[in-house]
Structure 1
Amino acid sequence: MLHGWASIKVLAWLVAATCLLVACTEGTQTAPPGAREDTRRTSQGPPQGPSRGAGSVAFGVIGEPATYDPYAALASDLTYALVRPVYPSLYRLEPDGAATPYLAKSMSSTRKGAVVALRRARWSNGAPITAKDVVASIRRARPPSGFALVTEAQADGRRKIRLSGRVNDWKQTLATVAFVLPRGRAGSGRVAGGPFMIEARTPGLQVVYRPNPRWFGHAPALKKVTVQFIQDLDILLELLATERLDAGAPPLTVNLGGRLESLGLASAGALGWESVYLDLEGAELSASNRQAVVDGVDRDLLEAGFVRAGGRVSDTLHPAPGPSGAGGPWPGPTLAAPQPPAAPIQVAVGAGDELTELLQRTLRLQLEDAGFSVELVTTDALTFYGQWTATDPMDIAIRRASGAPGLVDTPAVLESRAAIPLLHVASFVTWNEGIEGPEPNPSFEGPLWNLELWSKQ
């Protein structure tokens, strides 16, 4: 806990940071998680940007994925979100966490697992989607994919798969990052089984989608969707305000709802399975050092200063909706007598995420009060959520993570302080007038989960 002058310093920093962020939105507050805001631009709003036509939408996200292969080692939450319109799954998650059929026509239980029958569907190149595609995808899957829990998968004809594994809820498992890829491979995204296929990718700039003419569902109303990779939240909001973007996925930060409302943007937020945590996996810190980090971080102060109605403190790495959804085993028994290391520690964030950047600066004050010497490191989001997730070069990384129903903490991770849960936060989408269809899906499904239902007037 903070005390003395250090407490005053942190509180002063929180007040200053909050005042800067809400100065232009005085009198507004972030809407409670799950609430829907639907404010529209007035005639006094910013001038309209270049028209893209009624069938074309530009959508903004912070950062860029290192890969579009959901089963690659460098796959991230943004990877899963951007390939959701491209690759189907046996089941999919609705915004409330319910698993509903996608490719699955039926499923029956067996003594060892389940048997799934496929509906008739084709890839965009005309080839049928078969049981072999499912089996090949299962063999490549890795956590957090539900496919990684399948211990054995066999094709029984062209449209039936026999699955084995220690799984409590097969539908939920098969809806969690369980994409079916053509022959188990992602390729360029031009061969798609979802409502859209990838037409072009420009690294550092954007990815362009076109409708899949062979998708088995209703034809999408949009004829072109461009997802642009934006450097930070301020730029994202500016592009939305000037209508150079039609919609976007702003990560939760201080007074986000009020800021969107002040720009005349409609928005919706939901508290689902998204979280912020400290990643100490790669830290060369002793048990005493790690315990000193735990004791030095005041999570309640972080919540009060930066999250407020947009989330809450989490005692689990996998929070969920509901009154007890953020409860968990944290902090558990003391690991060792706390002792900060003699050498400085590095605390890293990905550039462009305003909330984690604010948390980084505040954690520096908290940890310095606990006796640490702290160095702040910021790198681009592509590296931070790509290469750095594999190499873990920093002592502490402040990460934002999506989730899904049914995920549970690994006791060894919490007990060793390899990760420290911080906050359970809401997921948002926002859009300009004339856009219909966006709805937050606060899970791995991401903001484009129902893109086939979107339209533009």
Structure 2
Amino acid sequence: MGHAPLARGGNAGSAPARRRPRLLGRFLALAAAASLLAACSAEPTTTGSASASAEPTALRIGVVSLSDSDALDPAKATTTGGYILSRQLFDTLTEYGTDGAWKPELAASVTPGDTAKTWTVVLNDAKWSDGRTVSADDVVATVKRWFSKKLPPSGSLPFIDPDKVVATDAKTVTFTLKYPTVTFPEAFASPTMAIVPSDFDPTKPVGSGPFVLASNDPGVQVTFTANPDYFAGKAGVEQLEVKSFPDSASAASALTADQIDVDASLDPSLVDTVKGVDGYQVFDYSTSGSLTWVMNTKKKPFDDPVVRQALRLSVDRQQLIDQVYNGYGKLGNDIFNPFDPMYNASLPQRTYDPDAAKKLLTDAGYTLPVKVELVGTNNQPTSERQNEALVEQAKAAGFDIEYKFVDSATFYGDAYGTYPLSLSYWGFLGIFDQAAFTVTKTAPYNSSHWTNPEFDKLFDEAVQTVDDTKRKELVARMQTIEYDSGAYIVPLFMSTVVGMSAKVTGAQAYPNSDGAFGYNFRILSLQG
């Protein structure tokens, strides 16, 4: 599932930067939180365990965290809350399934013509939540809306000609593309690509999704009721409540105090504590998601590819997995996406080599240590610890990194894209979509400002190449360019870790989709 940066919006000057504690301090703080969590969970109270409480009237999901900038318009969704809203209220034509591959969702079928320049989409029998039938005209109107209003989806669909998206009957849409594109189905899996009615009003969202919006307290809680007419079958619960928590420790405490049924963003460091409380379980699976460091090629020193390579050698990836993620992660190699069959696995695994990093810097004429400003926010439970780990690891490699923490609204506000070095949450996109969102010449979220004409040329050729073998060769060359001179450090791929009451059933892995279960909360049920 493709997604834009989290929590874009807000005023860049709304919160002062502040120095965060070092890595050891954070580990001690989490250890203390875990001890407190275990102690509190052991207290005999009327709501202290899942088995002791009455059957809740709703499935209660805890996340870190909702935002007052969560968009009810799926095309403008850039936050965790925005994606959650989109997945509950709307449908996309396609989605990434439990095997990591795309499959039809609102579409019953998505089929190419002879050259992949023409694609035909046939819709399922679906209804909007106001009772009207979802039609091909709605799909056409949705796509035209993206382009006429210059909404983010339009920037990642360079092959779409909105004037050649035509409803050929009530359920069939024909797309005649600007050029053949074999990745057409994947491009429509992102929650930002959700289909909306032709008369869509984002202040009163009508969708075709598994739930209907009941109430919304921005940044605090969103409540949904099941859509009884959902085309794929009614959701597993009648009501759904999504509650916001300021940090992972408070969400985990709420879980074991029976205030929520699912902790959708469980910090890996708290897994053993949750497992130790009777009546609770942990569900985890590998994903293509990553907290990646973004080096701004318009800012010194990262305008120099030598410095970018040196910083990549300054990251102890295995230590991050072991210490920050409690083992819940897989090694990354500065390219996306290991679940994509086009992934270039032949590139040498980059390892921690501080001596080589220092040599690169000194040979290039830099005086050590090279000073760098790193800006970050809480876009994942592990974000701060990962940033603090880099500060410590990079010292031995000749870098002096000053870490500044800002709130998410500030981070993704007007200053986004100006930081010399920052940590963003990316992944859950096929290789072509990831490139289209972040590094091609038309990318809407290129916060690194990295561009490469040869990369763009290969990208344009690859997306038009129908032959799998030839396309894989082109993608391998694209990813070699990124590996050698790109602006992203992809240190690891995170596992999704979810804490749940033992009463929750239906959990499934969505390895190529953002968030717990890809935010497909419709699959979950509660047992008494």
TM-score range, shorter chain: 0.7 to 0.9
Aligned-partner residue type, residue 455 of structure 1: S
Partner of 1:299: 317
Partner of 1:356: 383
Question: What is the CA deviation profile of residues 199-221 of structure 1, one whole-angstrom value per residue up to 9, with x for unaligned ones?
Answer: 22112211111122442343334
TM-score of the aligned structures, taking structure 1 as reference length: 0.79
Matching residue of 2:84: 81
- Sort the Cα spacing of 1:438 and 1:399 in 2 relative to 1 into closer, same or farther, 3 A: same
Selected match of 2:218 from 198, 203, 208: 203
The 8 Å contact of residues 334 and 490 in structure 2, kept in 1 or not, is answered as: yes
Match of 1:451 in 2: 521
**Is it true that 1:319 corresponds to 2:337 in the alignment?**
yes
Q: When you count helix as a share of all residues, which structure comes out higher?
A: 2
| Alignment-derived partner of residue 244 in structure 2 | 229
Q: Secondary structure at the match of 2:324?
A: helix
> How many angstroms apart in 1 are the aligned matches of 2:199 and 2:175?
16
Aligned to 1:367: 394
How much has 1:182 moved relative to structure 2? 2.0
Q: Which segment drifts farther, 351-360 or 155-164?
A: 351-360
On the 8 A contact 1:299/1:422 being kept in 2, the answer is yes
Aligned-partner Cα distance in 1 for 2:105–2:75? 19
Instruction: Please point out which of 96, 115, 121 is paired with 2:120.
Output: 115
| Contact persistence 1:122–1:193 (CA under 8 A) | yes
1:150 and 2:177 matched = no
The aligned counterpart of 2:356 is none
Q: Secondary structure at the match of 1:182?
A: coil
Query: Taking structure 1 as reference, are residues 24 and 419 closer, same or farther at Cα in structure 2, changes over 3 Å only?
Result: closer
**Structure 2 gaps, min length 5:** 1-21, 36-40, 351-359, 440-477
Instruction: Give the Cα–Cα distance (whole angstroms) in 2 for the partners of residues 324 and 90 of structure 1.
Output: 23
Do the aligned partners of 1:252 and 1:425 also contact (CA within 8 Å) in 2? no
Q: Which residue of 2 aligns with 1:137?
A: 142
**2:491 pairs with 1:436:** no
Counterpart of 1:88 in structure 2: which amino acid? Answer: D
Deviation at 1:64, TM superposition (A): 2.1
CA contact (8 A) 2:95 2:103 kept: yes
Q: For residues 183 and 206 of structure 2, what CA distance do their matches in structure 1 show?
A: 30
Aligned partners of 2:251 and 2:266 also within 8 Å: no
C-alpha distance in structure 1 between counterparts of 2:283 and 2:155, whole Å:
27
**What secondary structure, in the 3-state scheme, does the structure 1 residue paired with 2:253 have?**
helix
Contact between 1:251 and 1:353, CA under 8 Å: does it hold in 2? no
Partner SS state of residue 273, structure 1: coil
Q: CA deviation at 1:96?
A: 1.4
Unaligned runs of at least 5 residues, structure 1: 1-12, 27-41
CA distance in 2, matches of 1:109, 1:156: 15
CA distance in 1, matches of 2:422, 2:220: 25
Q: Given the alignment of the two structures, is residue 175 of structure 1 paired with residue 189 of structure 2, yes or no?
A: yes
Query: Helix, strand or coil: the match of 1:71?
Result: helix
Relative to structure 1, the CA distance from residue 244 to residue 54 in structure 2 (aligned partners, 3 Å threshold; closer, same or farther) is closer
Q: For residue 39 of structure 1, what is the aligned residue in structure 2?
A: none
Does the CA-based 8 Å contact 1:61-1:248 persist in structure 2?
yes
- Is the 2:309–2:485 Cα contact (8 Å) retained in structure 1? no
Give, in angstroms, the shift of residue 17 of structure 1.
5.8
Deviates further, 95-104 or 48-57: 48-57
CA distance in 1, matches of 2:387, 2:45: 33
Q: Tell whether 2:306 aligns with 1:310.
A: no
The one-letter code of the counterpart of 2:194 is F
Aligned pair in 2 of structure 1 residues 79, 297: CA closer, same or farther (>3 Å)? same
> What is the CA–CA distance in structure 1 between the aligned matches of 2:205 and 2:342, rounded to whole Å?
43
**Size of the alignment, in residue pairs?**
427
Structure 1 residue aligned with 2:7: none
395, 417, 426: which one aligns with 1:401: 426
1:303 alignment partner AA: I
Give the 3-state SS of the residue equivalent to 2:74 in structure 1.
coil
Partner of 1:57: 59
Q: Distance in 1 between matches of 2:315 and 2:347?
A: 17
Q: CA RMSD in A?
A: 3.8
- 2:309 and 2:431 mapped to 1: Cα distance? 28
Q: Give the equivalent residue in structure 2 for 1:276.
A: 291
Q: 1:339 to 1:71 in 2, by over 3 A?
A: farther
Deviations 1:145-184 (A, max 9, x none): 9756534422223221111343224443433443112228
Residues 362 and 206 (structure 1 numbering): CA distance in 2 closer, same or farther, change over 3 Å? same
Secondary structure in structure 2 of the residue aligned to 1:85: helix
Secondary structure at 2:70 match in 1: coil
Q: 2:219 touches 2:244 (CA, 8 Å); kept in 1?
A: yes
**Amino acid in the other structure paired with 1:57:** L
| Structure 1 CA distance for aligned equivalents of residues 166 and 484 of structure 2 | 37
1:250 aligns with 2:265: yes
Decide whether the 8 Å contact of 2:88 with 2:521 is kept in 1: yes
Give 1:60's aligned amino acid: G
- Within 2, Cα distance between the matches of 1:46 and 1:189? 41
Q: Distance in 2 between matches of 1:184 and 1:167?
A: 29
Mapped to 2, the partners of 1:273 and 1:347 lie a distance apart of 24
**In structure 2, how many angstroms separate the alpha carbons of the residues matched to 1:171 and 1:340?**
49
**Structure 1 residue 322: Cα displacement:** 9.4
Tell me the secondary structure at the aligned position of residue 236 of structure 1: helix
* 1:275-332 Cα shifts (integer Å, max 9, x gaps): 1210123761231543443343333432343336311221144233499968475899
Choose the corresponding residue for 2:366, options 339, 347, 357: 339
1:362 CA drift (Å): 1.9
